[in-house]
Each structure stands twice: as C-alpha cells, then as structure tokens.
Amino acid sequence: MSPTHTAVTTPAALEPCGREDHPDCGIRDLQDRIGDKWSVFVIVELASGPRRFRELQRAVDGISQRMLTLTVRRLERDGLVLRTVYPTVPAQVDYRLTETGAGLTHLVKALADWSLAHRAVISDARRAYDESHPDHDIR
C-alpha cells in the first residue's frame, strides 16, 4: 500500500447500509415503498382503523382501482397491511395495519402533517424559483 492509497478496503457487509448494491440492506427498497405517493395516503387512512376496499378508494382522493390494488398488495407483502377475507356472499375484504404497520403511522402522519403545514411556503418557493429561473423547467 502506498502513502497515496486512499481506498477503503472494508468487506461489503461492514459498509454502511443504503448503498443500492449493499448485499444485505433493504433500506432503499423499503423507503421506496413507504415513500411512494399512494402508500403514505393508504397508511394514514388505515391508521384510524380497518377499511374495506371501496372505503379506502373513496378516502384516497385520485387513486385508481388498479393503483389501490397494487398499493395494498405491496404493503401486505411488506408485512405492513393485513388483508382479511370474510366468508360472505359476496366475499367481504378489509384491510388493516399490522403491528409493524401501526408502528410506522406516527412517522408517516408526521410527514403528512409537515407537508400540510408547509405546503404554502413550498408553493411560494416553487413559484419564486420558477419566476427567477424561466429556462429551468424541472417539474
């Protein structure tokens, strides 16, 4: 090793999590799920209790049936939502947060509350940026 050698030679397992190629770190994947547009709304809605599919669809403004189906399936796969089918005719299905999902609600609700509290400031900042940078359309 020369005095100019600056490369870090640590095994991948000891490197900090968050790198996309990290062998045993699911942080990026989980943050993508939790941070996607529809998951946040579904988690916030389910924080107040179990909901049937149509109730969720009415509560989450703008979500299509397909996107809601994909979102609850993904959240179920991640162990954040429990889907229960009741043996009725027609079958009734409800969705509720698991214990893990419920443990996440205060974080997601805090993000939603922060977004609501700061939406005017952010909107003003965007407008000011767009006016002072007319050649930068980054929307």
pLDDT (tens digit, 9 = 90+) per residue, 60-77?
999 999 999 999 999 999
Q: Is 18 left (phi over 0), alpha (psi -120 to 50) or beta?
A: left
CA 41/CA 68 separation, integer angstroms: 10
| Predicted pLDDT of residue 3 | 53
User: Binning pLDDT at 50, 70 and 90, where does residue 19 land?
Assistant: low
Domain 14-132 belongs in CATH node 1.10.10.10: yes
Between 23 and 130, where is the model more confident?
Answer: 130
* Predicted model pTM: 0.70
Retrieve residue 118's tokens. Answer: 């700061």
| Predicted pLDDT of residue 20 | 60
Domain ranges across the chain: 14-132
Burial letters 33-72, b for 16+ CB under 10 A, else e:
bbebebbbbbbbbbbeeebebeebbeebeebeeebbeebb
| Predicted pLDDT of residue 97 | 97
Residue 117 carries which side chain, given as an amino acid letter?
Answer: A
User: Binning pLDDT at 50, 70 and 90, where does residue 27 land?
Assistant: confident
Whether residue 42 has pLDDT greater than 90: yes
| Predicted pLDDT of residue 28 | 72
